[in-house]
Amino acid sequence: MRKRFGMVLIVLIIMSCCNLLFATSQEDFLHANDLYKRGDYADAQRLYASIDTKGAAVWYNLGNCWYHLKDYPQAIACWKRCLKYGGFAWYDDVVHNCSQAYEILGIQPHEVWYEHLVRTIRNYSLLWWQLVLILVSLVSCLLLLRSDYKKKSVLLGVMIGVMSVATSCLGIKYWGLSKKDALVGQEAFLVAGTDERFSRLATLKKGEEVVVYETRGKWSKVAANEGVGWILADTLIII
């Protein structure tokens, strides 16, 4: 009886601590919103940045602060993190804001036709896609084993198609989680190897988006529009 009471007490204490922590973070969030509305962007940015468990709204507002503080690559990075952390509902706002920042930086963002599809897939959680694939596999299995011979080939084709789509969606989701996007924080050279002595492939503009493949020492291997090469890791803002 005493043991149970002790356990309940510990759980209650942990829950209270969590509530207290979240309450403090929420206060910071609301206070930062007030600062932003008053035009005190620097303090608002500091307060948003101090929140430990930043959700989509915090990243979005942080992006707005950086925009007003004229650090446009940081602003774009924060807005993109907002999408990454579940702010898909504000997709249009994020795209609009990013386009404004890109315009100031003189960068023409190139969005491929499947970008929206990929973002939609990435918006659903990994668990969701895993369950979809398991369910599709299960239904396929049952239908296939219970159907008669005449419809089997058609059914098999349809099921393979549905399973391929579900697997592709899950693959895109996994790829989105493992892929490391980054922005170039300051103008930097893309070089052929992990040393400045290697030939320069291109000059990456401030705010240009790249995909990080790996990091060796102070160099990161990235894929940019201009090609694949190495760039100083310090110049990158990881999304």
Partner 1 sequence: MDIKIGNSIKLLFFCVSFFVTLDAADRLELRVVTRTNDTAVTTMALGVPYTLELKVEGMHDLHNCTIAGLENFHSEFFGASQISWMANSSIVHSYVIRADTVGDFTLGPATLVTKTGTVLSSNVLSLKVEQQQQSDVIVELLLNQKSVVVGQKATGKLCIHTCVNSQLINLQTPSMDQELGTFAQLPDHVQTTRTIEGKNYNSYEIPITVLFKKPGRFSLPKVGALCRVQNQKKQHSFPFGFSMYGAQDIWFYSAQPVVLEVEALPPLSSTNHFLGIGLFDSVALMCKQKSATQGEGIVVLLDIIGREGVDDLQPPPLDLPDGLKYYESKSTFEKLSNGSYKKSCEYIIQATRDHTFEVNPQRYSYFDTASRTYKHLTTNSFKLEITGGKKRFQEHDLPKQLDLHNDLINDEKIASIKTDGPWFYTPERALSTRWFLLCVGLIVCAMVLGYIRKYRSGLTSDYWMQKRKRDAFNATRKTVAQLKKQNNYSQLYDTFNQLFKDRCQLLPAEVTADIIEDRLKKAGFVRESVEQWNRFFLQLAELAYCKQGAFSRVPEDLFKRASMWINQLEEKL
**123 part of the interface to partner 1, by CB under 8 A:** no
Binding part of the chain for partner 1, among 3-11, 51-59, 112-120, 202-210 by CB under 8 A, reads: 51-59
Q: What is the DSSP letter of 199?
A: P
Nearest distance in Å: CB 30, partner 1: 8
By C-beta, is 136 or 205 nearer to partner 1?
136
CA 146/CA 40 separation, integer angstroms: 67
By C-beta, is 7 or 126 nearer to partner 1?
126
CA 74/CA 105 separation, integer angstroms: 12
Given a contact cutoff of 8 angstroms between Cβ atoms, the answer to whether 94 and 60 are in contact is yes
- How many residues touch partner 1 under the rule CB under 8 A: the total is 61
What residues between 87 and 116 interact with partner 1 by CB under 8 A?
A: 87, 89-90, 93, 96-97, 100
CA 154/CA 38 separation, integer angstroms: 64
Give helix 149-178 / helix 126-146 axis angle, nearest 10°. Answer: 170
Q: What is the DSSP letter of 205?
A: P
Q: What is the DSSP letter of 90?
A: G
Contact residues: partner 1, CB under 8 A: 22, 25-26, 29-30, 33, 36-37, 39, 51, 53-58, 60-61, 64, 67-68, 85-87, 89-90, 93, 96-97, 100, 125-127, 130, 133-134, 137-138, 140-141, 144-145, 149, 174, 177-178, 192-200, 214-219
